[in-house]
Structure 1
């Protein structure tokens, strides 16, 4: 027989429950079962409660009011606030146990101190907030599983850009995407279209820099032009920073009219900087730049570069039927290159090296001549057991050592590496690389 089962001939005993305050009384109001927590809030030992009448305890001021008589009278579950002799306020829940005649035979009550409930309430509220955050992240991660081939979002910078893109897809506001060539701007535009309410309509991408001024207006007219083709869908104005002043003026007039089109402008350079320099029309800038997404070059996205190297090798393996990998030295060397052409340049170099290699791994000598390191620049480390952050730290130190040999000042090093001069000084100190005697170093 289970020791907690309530039966008429059960012995009075302390129930072996350590974390709940539960008291069982019979219809006469006598306590027949308690837990080891039961006397804690009342300032008495739990065993001292056994056999006592709740009416007596109430008269003695141990607690007030008693829940048992109210449950017996109303024959239903009740919840009330009870005050103890020690001044605590308890939330008491009383539940009836009926006999065959539907009369209350036992009352089971359990209690919590009100302060404990406040703690539980705060915890539940914080849990609810956390769940909302997790739901949002899950929705975001689900949103990342999109059929836009080639876009890499492993770095913090590209993840922010992707998050912004998915958010902007919910609205029809014009948008400007900026970044160096080959960083995935067109892929971001396509992703926005695929997640928008216009996903079933046309996605038209126009190279603005290739349209002569003489036929610019005709190219965007409502009868056969780009506006007509993109009606109801998304129109991407690529290389908008290359438009002449005359073309900008014409585009501004065309866009001033209401059209059922989502506009996305793409630029390799800062439109705001062009506007401030007087090279881009202010009215057109403010018409397009309602939202803004910026993509950095691969130089500032090492996690994306690492992921892209693996992705391209997988694609080349499927394309040519032979799987190859990068030798450690080649892999480390590729991570430290500038990649001004970004993803396009990386893909080109990898494919050329892949076809040049005669082995199962692509080595330094398989790289195009202009991409091979000089003998004294080779990093020469093994990847086994190295994490990417540790690997990049080693590469950073080697790059700085090589740069210091070539350039006299930290200013020259900064210009060559594409970072600020204070960053160079800080990184040299970080890696304990000795400085020279010239005034800059």
Structure 2
């Protein structure tokens, strides 16, 4: 220990020109009885103690007397890096400590020294006590007077005697209780094996000596050898476990081979023989893998060599002449030194497993086909990639109970998609309740959603009423036009989503629900949030799984399948056999459909009812439809990029063919196309069109 570790660092200092009054103020403020005195260069020139101040005052000095007149100039200074042993015996009450630069570093008084040593002894005694309390063996210490001075926790546990009953008392009764009788304190000996309670202890005695001659007591060390009996019992368990392990290996359906580090085959189970067709396990057991370099067991040598070269796991697929597929898996059993101790080889015949996989793949394909048929059977028409993606998302989310937010313009089929999710969910046999938040008056919406208790308001039914949410319990609630829900009800809906609990209007009793929420809107909810018309926290609660249905104009692949589907439906309903002409199909497919699927359904039904001919041609289309189509302008349907010349010729040929089919007159067709009838005749012959 160095001096700087026990000194008082950065002590309060005085200067020779300060007064004794200044010194007294320093003593009072800092609680010290001395202070080093420094000159103007900061070097130590003396020390002034309280005792010296008192002596000076007795000799007639006043508090105005300077420190320099009274201080002790003959002082002893030492270096802070000196070892404590070098200064501990100096007959000095206080020392001035200097650093390597000769400047004041601290002071060391004998009182400080005593306190530091006392604290160190206490710390050492505490550490020793903690160590003795922590050891596994019981320790009993007896002092020179014959009294018990230490009895650790392990001794309490092993003897069953509380420490408070023996500490500070004569050791005789305790020794007698342990079966020891009288002991010689100066003997270092093994005392023997003793039965204490339900434990078997061995006890050893060691003297406590200050030197070879002076004995200050003795210590007893108690060790519980009951654990050795447990170990013996555990060894028996290990033997039994080994027998069980052998039985498990032999009964395992997979083939198992155990190879030692030298390549000797220690163990082979019956399944290995069954899979490889061995007549007897003795064909390979006890042999070295090098003896099996050829034949059906050669793979054992390959696995052994690869693992011994550094691999920890080796997998190998083998196809036999009989068409079987086998998997060899070898893994290393690493010992404590990090070296391979054994190699365990597992052999599995996966021929049957592959057959099961093929059957499962066929079943999965059939299931997908059935699902596709069900979707095609009027549930949802989805030919475009965008709509297929929306349907796939709906089917995926149907398997869980997450909240879904369906967005898309009016008329795209958000309700049908919500019903699809419900029908394919675990709640399919439970209610599906549709609530149009924009169609119910705000004054009635709360009571419709949550219900009300009897007498809740004027005009309420006497017996009260169940709300739609409560009616849907166990099933699915479809909140259409969620963007139109009033803000005050949005708060209550948020609580339903968070807690699945409602309160009826006028009621105080919470009603626990189990419902799945699907919301839909044709509005921009983020814009409504910015306008403070929709709660942001409700938006994030609803938008767990968002599904967007694009407008019909963005998925034109769906237009004709939808038209055909609803044409067949209305033909069956009205007993007609209407069909669409080719040009009509082109016009329908080129239309932008601002009303989406809803507009398409209405138009198809109108055409089926109003068209008197079997084939629906363009002139049967409503005037407003043709006007809207004209305002939108004609756009060719292009599916791939081709050279411009080829595109021009194809477009020109198609327009001429359409004009001739419609008007049956070169002159009229030429007028519509904006060319002379002679030019039209020449081009028609050029393209091989019959005129």
TM-score in terms of structure 1 length: 0.56
Give the secondary-structure state (helix, strand or coil) at the position aligned to 1:182: coil
What is aligned with 2:521?
A: 267
CA distance in structure 1 between the aligned counterparts of 2:598 and 2:635, rounded to whole angstroms: 25
Which of 343, 353, 371 does residue 143 from structure 1 map onto?
371
CA distance in structure 2 between the aligned counterparts of 1:178 and 1:133, rounded to whole angstroms: 35
Structure 1 residue 130: deviation in Å?
Answer: 9.7
Determine if the alignment matches structure 1 residue 343 to structure 2 residue 600: no
* 1:291-322 CA-partner distances (Å, limit 9, x unpaired): 11111111111221121111111112212222
- When residues 178 and 156 of structure 1 are mapped into structure 2, their CA distance, relative to the original with a 3 A threshold, is same
Give the secondary-structure state (helix, strand or coil) at the position aligned to 1:345: helix
What is aligned with 1:162?
A: 391
Structure 1 residue 361: deviation in Å?
Answer: 0.8
What is aligned with 1:394?
A: none
Structure 1 residue 354: deviation in Å?
Answer: 2.5
- Relative to its length, the structure with more strand (as a share) is 2
CA distance in structure 2 between the aligned counterparts of 1:330 and 1:316, rounded to whole angstroms: 18
Structure 1 residue 269: deviation in Å?
Answer: 2.4
* 1:163-191 CA-partner distances (Å, limit 9, x unpaired): 11111111122111111111111111111
Give the secondary-structure state (helix, strand or coil) at the position aligned to 1:236: strand
Map 1:103-122 → 2, pairs under 5 A: 110=321
Which of 505, 530, 543 does residue 289 from structure 1 map onto?
543
Give the secondary-structure state (helix, strand or coil) at the position aligned to 1:304: helix
Provide the alpha-carbon RMSD of the alignment: 4.5
Give the secondary-structure state (helix, strand or coil) at the position aligned to 1:162: helix
> Where does the alignment leave 5 or more consecutive residues of structure 1 unmatched?
1-69, 93-108, 382-387, 391-396, 402-441
TM-score in terms of structure 2 length: 0.37
What is aligned with 1:209?
A: 438
- When residues 126 and 371 of structure 1 are mapped into structure 2, their CA distance, relative to the original with a 3 A threshold, is farther
CA distance in structure 1 between the aligned counterparts of 2:387 and 2:466, rounded to whole angstroms: 37
Farther-moved stretch of structure 1 (242-251 vs 321-330): 242-251
Q: Is the 8 A contact 1:238 1:266 kept in 2?
A: yes
What is aligned with 2:473?
A: 231
Structure 1 residue 213: deviation in Å?
Answer: 2.8
Determine if the alignment matches structure 1 residue 177 to structure 2 residue 433: no
CA distance in structure 2 between the aligned counterparts of 1:283 and 1:137, rounded to whole angstroms: 42
- When residues 199 and 212 of structure 1 are mapped into structure 2, their CA distance, relative to the original with a 3 A threshold, is same
CA distance in structure 2 between the aligned counterparts of 1:170 and 1:135, rounded to whole angstroms: 19
Give the secondary-structure state (helix, strand or coil) at the position aligned to 1:177: strand
Which of 618, 631, 634 does residue 364 from structure 1 map onto?
618
Aligned residues: 297
What is aligned with 1:27?
A: none
CA distance in structure 1 between the aligned counterparts of 2:632 and 2:419, rounded to whole angstroms: 44
Greater Rg by CA: 2
Q: Is the 8 A contact 1:198 1:232 kept in 2?
A: yes
Structure 1 residue 271: deviation in Å?
Answer: 2.6
Give the secondary-structure state (helix, strand or coil) at the position aligned to 2:565: helix
Map 1:63-102 → 2, pairs under 5 A: 83=293
Structure 1 residue 359: deviation in Å?
Answer: 1.9
- When residues 363 and 261 of structure 1 are mapped into structure 2, their CA distance, relative to the original with a 3 A threshold, is same
Determine if the alignment matches structure 1 residue 252 to structure 2 residue 506: no
> Where does the alignment leave 5 or more consecutive residues of structure 2 unmatched?
1-276, 302-319, 330-348, 452-464, 501-512, 641-646, 652-691
What is aligned with 1:194?
A: 423
- When residues 271 and 379 of structure 1 are mapped into structure 2, their CA distance, relative to the original with a 3 A threshold, is closer
